[in-house]
Structure 1
Amino acid sequence: MISTYASPWLEFLLCLIVIGYAGVKLSVFGDVIADKTGLGGSWVGLIMLATVTSLPELVTGVISVSVAGLPDIAVGNVLGACVMNLFIFVLLDFLHRGESVFQKSSQGHILSASFGVLMISFVGFSLLLSHHGYQLSFGYVGLYTFIIVIMYGVMVRSVFYYEKKHMAAFADHAPDRRPDLSLFQSVARFAAAAIVVVVAATALPFVGEHIAQDMGWHQSFVGTIFIAFATTIPEIVVSIAAMRIGALNMAVANLLGSNLFNIFILAIDDVFYTRGPLLAHVSPVHGVSAFSAVMMISLAIIGLFYRPNGRVLYTVGWTSLCMFAVYLFNTYILYLYEH
């Protein structure tokens, strides 16, 4: 008979196995769609994969603000997931043999990364203003929510036209690598894999909550960190799977795109939180996560532009090492604040 303590962990493991299998399929069919449409793996990763893998954050956030009445969990999950996504960037650099991720990735990612700096720093800016009583709102929705939605729309349009322009010449001459699959079949199979990932990933936060309760962990710190990690597992699986099949640009775009979609989720959470502007009802310590994410993205931009050579002790480059240091610093500050 399975003990009470073992059961949540087995459920967690089952979710990981399901997400792992479906995540590989997502990467494969996402790569095929990018090839057949000529849009490029960067745009597919930035929009399609990022949206699918970020849906657990959306579900967790909406439930946290509407049902549970826990705005700090919603904001902590979103910004914690942004930091975690950038840590996955470091993980990819560690797993990618030969040249570093920064050397092999397209410099076109600088565009989406720059939008990430803009949107996340705007959230940190709005959070600090709200904490000091300076806020504009329409009803119970903050003005920053409308600005975030506009920013996200501009980002999607800008990246779409950038990818379309830079992929046009390649698409005209490149052979179809999967002639056995039509575009419709590829999209249908991508959608099927996406549904599997979303269903399994949506269960992760609830399984994680049961584990935290059973283990007696501190809910405000470990719970938030664990939930942020749990909802980021699809990004980990899909990004590593994409890198393994040679679609590194799609993997990087998925991580950067997930951060952008996470900020868009924050706007959705604000709409569902009816007690007032969301950022006015959360702890200012979330600003640490916001600006940690900004520093990590800035380091990624430097790496993508400068393309440094060499690795530290044959592991990761100095850029990734600095990003990892910021990640550890962010976690440590949150730990000190909660204890």
Structure 2
Amino acid sequence: MIYLIYVILAVLVVLCSTKLSAYVDALDKKTNLSGAFLGGVLLAAVTSLPELFTSLTAVLSLDEPQLVQGNVLGSNIFNLCIPAVLVLSFNKRYRQSRIAQSHYNTLYFGLAMYVCCALAIVSPFSVSLGFTQVNLMTPVIIVLYVIGIRLMKNDDSVEQEEESNLDLSIRQIMVRFVLFSLALVAVSIALTQVTDRIADALQLGTTVAGAIFLGVATSLPELSASVSLVRLNNFNASIGNVVGSNLFNFTILCFADLLYQKASIYILDGATLFASQVGNLLLFGLLSSIIMIVVLAARKSKAAVQIAAVLILASYVASIMLSM
């Protein structure tokens, strides 16, 4: 019964996120904001709501900080599998597409955040914010995210001239956007509770449970949005959604570190970084991000894109197998 509930909640996540993606796409075409910013920041933040609220629930309600690590890092690796599958399935369309330069910057900032997470684990150093203690890397990651947003906001390297299919005013779009966002939050919190019960039933570690069940389920919004955008022949926004979501996901660790009062969010239960499930997720997440840069840079080469995409998929499978 618990598995059926998990599937139902996952379906609801997809339905809510599909509607949200449509509204954000309409804002893209009805406003003067850059497509890179809307896809990489606004749409990315919307589709990352499940990761955010499930992670906050994990630390505030379940007292499972490692579930947060598995959720965020597992989602990031799975997210990159989405464009990998899409470029394999629509290789010619992808090679003919135009990609915003800011997507490269987003991936570079993501690499820096992976390094920050590793440093937070191997060299834990806390700083006081007056009302709480956080790891030094937490404010560093926030600063990196803010800089990344500014770069996306000013990127007009790819222009879109399509008109929206939604016959709604901007205000009507925003009202619906808020309502479906609230629905997505409620479903995400329930999904966290169910995942914790599945982890107990299968006797899985909380990190790997987060990476498999929670990481995949909360990445369904990115999957739904990306597939929809590719159908609209908009690979640029599709990739922006994924890499922007990955960047936003790192800030979730920061929020969790801020709210988790018992200890730092970057804990390993006595294991060393390179012998832990978290270490595997960090390593393969870093590797997948580097390969994704190759997918973008070698866009005109069919063979190079296909090989790189397959390597991203292999990286995800390896990360799960080695974390079991």
TM-score for both structures, normalised by structure 1: 0.82
Report how far residue 53 of structure 1 moved: 1.9
CA deviation digits over 1:159-182, x for unaligned, max 9? 11124xx36xx47xx464458332
Tell me how far 1:319 sits from its aligned partner. 0.9
Instruction: After TM superposition, give the deviation of residue 311 of structure 1 in Å.
Output: 5.5
Post-superposition Cα deviations, 1:37-90, rounded to whole Å, max 9, x if no partner, equal 132433212112221222222222223223332222222221111111112222
Name the CA distance, whole Å, in 2 between partners of 1:190 and 1:246. Answer: 23
Q: Is residue 155 from structure 1 mapped to residue 148 from structure 2 by the alignment?
A: yes
Aligned to 1:18: 12
Q: Of residues 263, 280, 296 in structure 2, which corresponds to 1:288? A: 280
Whether 1:329 aligns to 2:318 is yes
**Percent identity of paired positions between Structure 1 and Structure 2:** 26
The aligned amino acid for 1:26 is L
Range that drifts further, 236-245 or 286-295: 236-245
One-letter amino acid matched to 2:60 = S
Query: Which of 137, 140, 157 is the equivalent residue of 2:127?
Result: 137
* Greater Cα radius of gyration, structure 1 or 2: 1
Does residue 257 in structure 1 map to residue 244 in structure 2? yes
The answer for the alignment partner of 1:218 in structure 2 is 204
Amino acid aligned to 2:321: Y
Question: What whole-Å deviation, never above 9, does each CA across 1:129-153 have from its counterpart, x for those lacking one?
Answer: 23xxxx2432531111111111111
CA-based RMSD of the aligned residues comes to 2.6
Aligned positions of 1:91-106 closer than 5 A: 91-95=85-89, 97-99=90-92, 101=94, 104=97, 106=99
Structure 1 residues 19 and 311: CA distance shift in structure 2, 3 A:
farther
In the superposition, the TM-score normalised over structure 2's length comes to 0.86
* Cα deviation digits, residues 189-233 of structure 1 (max 9, x gap): 33333333333233222233344445x343446523222222222
**1:259-311 Cα deviation digits (max 9, x unpaired):** 11111011111111213332245552213212311211111112211214335
- Number of residue pairs aligned between Structure 1 and Structure 2: 314
Task: Supply the AA of the counterpart residue of 1:56.
Answer: P
Q: Conserved in 2, the CA contact under 8 Å of 1:115 and 1:155? A: yes
What is the rounded CA distance, in whole Å, between the counterparts of 1:179 and 1:69 in structure 2?
43
* Structure 2 residue ranges without an equivalent (≥5): none
- Pick closer, same or farther for the CA change 1:175–1:325 going to 2, 3 Å: closer
Q: Deviation digits for residues 9-42 of structure 1, max 9, x if unmatched? A: 3323332333333333222222111111132433
Structure 1, gaps ≥5 residues long:
1-6
The answer to whether the Cα contact below 8 Å between 2:107 and 2:289 also exists between their aligned partners in 1 is yes
